[in-house]
């Protein structure tokens, strides 16, 4: 049975006024993902006359005012929520909620889906569903030339990556139990201890590509910053030895997959990991630092079947050690590496 992870931390509130048979409850009732009843079990009274705002397909009509708690992990601030619904009979109030949510700057990278008119116990209501959206690389599509061409990125990001996002949204539209997870939570849940659910491949590929774009930068390559460099030298003897092992991992990879530099939580060290197809290190609780896409569509237009040229271009001209250092610094909040300390920029 799937269990939603518990979420703690500051909350952000949205209020929607309710008109129900019980008008004497003036005190707001705080609802969190822990205590809101499942949407599938929610009774919709015929006398409800105003919209409610639902988080993750969950709600309860508990009085005149109904605040919904949106934890940052799944809420508006991070715009990581995958499902937000507005229900009700009052069209003007419903549209006000919808327009407010749609125009919110904090939802800038969440795509908005269709509105569906359905009914329950003679009550008509509308669902406004937000889905995962396609995030752009942090640079222009021609910024990585001549090592990765604009044409490659137009196909890789604009077709392949977009296709994973659209396929995932179609799957989630049919599986209400998976709404509301952040992307990394969704990956861990759908991996299902090595027996993946159908949603896993598309979810993992969406995350992998976002991470891959951010693992590169124009004018990349060169050397890591001092803190990360010292950690690499500690775990691989030298930076040159690390590069050799990373290149070897790429050249010995079979078929489609990914090559990662990760921080292993238990071992408290950096390691190079190869994964096949869509699998990524999150499923083993490792912390990714950089990655290289080894699916043929990532490099075939430039390099054909010459993986050696591809990985050397990545290591010498593309890899973003700035992004890697920032990820390593964040990772130290979870893994105590001792010395050397990774400086926070």
Minimum mean pLDDT range among 78-82, 174-178, 217-221: 78-82
**Mean of the pLDDT values across residues 45-64?**
34
Instruction: Summarize pLDDT for 252-290 with one digit per residue, the tens.
Output: 999 999 999 999 999 999 999 999 999 999 999 999 999
**Mean of the pLDDT values across residues 76-88?**
31
pLDDT for res 117:
47
pLDDT for res 121:
54
343 half-sphere exposure, CB direction, 13 A CA radius: 8
**Mean of the pLDDT values across residues 79-105?**
38
Report residue 178's pLDDT band, with 50, 70 and 90 as the boundaries. confident
- 274 is written with which tokens? 């190869």
Phi, psi values for residue 207, rounded to 5°: -65, -45
Contact 181, 189 (CB under 8 A): yes
Instruction: Summarize pLDDT for 124-172 with one digit per residue, the tens.
Output: 444 444 579 999 999 999 999 999 999 999 999 999 999 999 999 999 9
pLDDT for res 247:
98
pLDDT over threshold 50, residue 44:
no
CA distances in angstroms from 338 to 93, 227, 234, 261, 302, listed in the order given: 55, 12, 12, 19, 42
Phi, psi values for residue 28, rounded to 5°: -60, 145
Domain spanning 150-331, CATH architecture: 3-Layer(bab) Sandwich (3.55)
Phi, psi values for residue 186, rounded to 5°: -60, -40
Phi, psi values for residue 311, rounded to 5°: -70, -35
Contact 137, 153 (CB under 8 A): yes
pTM of the predicted structure, to 2 decimals: 0.66
CA nearest neighbour of 161 among 95, 205, 220: 205
- 265 is written with which tokens? 């939580």
Instruction: Summarize pLDDT for 179-224 with one digit per residue, the tens.
Output: 788 999 999 999 999 999 999 999 999 999 999 999 999 999 989 9
Domains of the chain, by residue range, sit at 12-131, 150-331
Could you give the CA distance from residue 111 to residue 170 in angstroms, rounded to a whole number?
13
Phi, psi values for residue 157, rounded to 5°: -80, -45
Percent of the chain with pLDDT over 70: 60
**Mean of the pLDDT values across residues 48-75?**
33
Phi, psi values for residue 177, rounded to 5°: -65, -20
């Amino acid at each position: 049975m799937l269990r939603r992870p518990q979420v703690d931390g500051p909350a952000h509130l949205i209020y929607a006024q309710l008109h129900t048979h019980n008008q004497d409850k003036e005190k707001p009732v705080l609802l969190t993902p822990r205590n809101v009843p499942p949407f599938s079990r929610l009774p919709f009274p015929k006398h409800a006359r105003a919209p409610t705002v639902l988080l993750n397909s969950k709600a309860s009509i508990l009085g005149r005012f109904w605040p919904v708690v949106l934890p940052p992990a799944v809420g508006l601030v991070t715009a990581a929520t995958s499902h937000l619904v507005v229900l009700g009979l009052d069209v003007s109030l419903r549209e006000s909620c919808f327009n407010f949510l749609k125009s919110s700057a904090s939802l800038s990278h969440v795509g908005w889906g269709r509105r569906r008119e359905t009914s329950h116990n003679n009550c008509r209501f509308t669902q406004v569903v937000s889905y995962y959206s396609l995030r752009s690389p942090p640079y222009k599509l021609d910024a990585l030339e001549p090592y990765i061409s604009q044409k490659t990125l137009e196909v890789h990001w604009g077709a392949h990556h977009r296709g994973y996002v659209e396929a995932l949204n179609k799957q989630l539209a049919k599986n209400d139990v998976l709404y509301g997870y952040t992307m990394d939570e969704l990956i861990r849940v759908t991996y299902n201890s090595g027996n993946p659910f159908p949603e896993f491949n598309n979810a993992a590929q969406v995350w992998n590509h976002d991470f891959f774009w951010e693992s590169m930068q124009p004018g990349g390559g060169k050397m890591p910053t001092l803190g990360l460099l010292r950690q690499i030298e500690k775990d691989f003897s030298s930076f040159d030895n690390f590069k050799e092992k990373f290149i070897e991992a790429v050249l010995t990879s079979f078929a489609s997959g990914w090559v990662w530099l990760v921080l292993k939580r238990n071992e408290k060290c950096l390691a190079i990991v190869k994964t096949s197809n869509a699998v990524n290190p999150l499923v083993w609780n490792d912390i990714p630092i950089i990655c290289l896409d080894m699916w043929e569509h990532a490099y075939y237009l430039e390099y054909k079947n010459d993986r050696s040229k591809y990985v050397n271009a990545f290591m010498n001209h593309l890899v973003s050690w700035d992004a890697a250092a920032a990820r390593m610094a964040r990772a130290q909040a979870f893994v105590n590496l001792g010395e050397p300390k990774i400086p926070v920029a």
